[in-house]
Structure 1
């Protein structure tokens, strides 16, 4: 896919990985629909993309709400004329041990509230946006690509029962979508980032970041731009379909 003038939706597009993706794709000439819940973050990213001479627009939407997602994609097609791709990037964490034990006694458990919250955004939100993007592209007769952002934590990570479940699921959904949607010229793939130097990670204490980096074979955190370039590669290579790309500095081999 030649990205010039292609319309790409990025959820969680206001900051972090989403902003890096937006700037990478803007540099390729893509027209962007950025989705977030924070208006200030959206405005900043839209302005940065506009500086690259592309049409970028911000949309406030709760991706876990079915009617909101349907309206979002209707608005995007109405505003930008078509749809060629989606990056399902939005996600949250609510970490905690499955069962926490102290002195032989269970003192806390992962709450159903935190389980439901993470599944609602990370899994249901990805499902709804993917379904609506596929629907619009089929109706419009446009070929395109859907990318789900998974995580190397999809293989299991302490303190993240809820998060790992969603990240395993969105990777598996991309495989399923690739098989189902290929007949319509729509590809699907996923990316499993390792530890990336986003605002959230960089807000950690320096000693904590250093400990994380020391455990990575490349001895450094990944940069958001490195994930963004992987997004660009998947969009541009029309024979990439159904695969998950681990971008983690050899942390998981």
Structure 2
């Protein structure tokens, strides 16, 4: 599919990778509708990009947003499932000083699953339902998974969500074939975004030392993979790792 033919939603698009994707799509002539909980940051997006507050942890908000986006763009044939949060903690941890055993809270588990998996799944459901209802043939979904889907210490909730998204990329590619909708995923490694900039510096440096290309990725690195999935009509049901060769 040519980028200029896209009428596409980008979730979590007010900053970081999502904002970069939205700008690149807009520059290519696509119609873009961006949603994010950070409503005040949406104003910084280029003129011509549709924007509205979106909380993907709310089913009601998702349904309303997708209906709005379809109307604003005069159709809908794409989705970049980018919204995500982190609530990192070991599942079980023993304090070295006090000996107290601490556990990952159910609230932090539910928050990450609610945004990164349930919200992403409902976005796919609503967007593809619109394609099916329209009777049009053709559409594309890009899920943002993560290299962490293979397992990463202190991220049980995040790993669960991102692994499920990669697996369901295969599932959905098969389920949506009657509608002509392709589904692909990109699994970034460590990328320079507001989320990673908040990392502990020691942990950040240690992670970078394990990246063979010798640097942190930037949003443009991930955009190149997203663009490939959007444009390559023979790509379907697979996840592309873009991590600089990161060694866990």
TM-score class, shorter: over 0.9
Do the aligned partners of 1:36 and 1:59 also contact (CA within 8 Å) in 2?
yes
Residue 49 of structure 2 corresponds to: 56
Greater shift, 110-119 or 138-147, is seen at 138-147
1:1-16 matches, cutoff 5 A: 1-16=1-16
Pairs within 5 Å for 1:1-253: 1-45=1-45, 47=46, 50=47, 55-102=48-95, 105-142=99-136, 143-204=138-199, 208-252=203-247
Quote the offset at 1:206 in angstroms: 5.4
Residues in 2 aligned to 1:228 and 1:56: alpha-carbon distance in whole angstroms = 17
* CA–CA separation in structure 2 for the residues paired with 1:190 and 1:18: 14
Task: Give deviations 1:63-120, integer Å, cap 9, x for gaps.
Answer: 1222221111111111111001001100101010110024594520001111111111
CA contact (8 A) 2:95 2:102 kept: no
C-alpha separation between the residues in 2 aligned to 1:19 and 1:174? 23
Alpha carbons 2:185, 2:240 under 8 Å: kept: yes
2-structure distance, mates of 1:238, 1:245: 15
Q: Tell me if structure 2 keeps the 8 A contact 1:35–1:59.
A: yes
Aligned residues: 246
* Pairwise CA RMSD: 1.7
- 1:208 Cα deviation from its structure 2 partner: 4.6
TM-score (norm 2): 0.94
Instruction: Give the alignment's TM-score, normalised by structure 1.
Output: 0.92
What CA deviation, in whole Å up to 9, does each residue of 1:180-207 have, x standing for no partner?
1012110001111000011232344655
CA distance in structure 1 between the partners assigned to 2:200 and 2:85 by the alignment: 20
Aligned partner of residue 79 in structure 1, secondary structure: helix
For the structure 1 residues 206 and 123, does the alpha-carbon distance in structure 2 shift closer, same or farther, using more than 3 Å as the test? closer
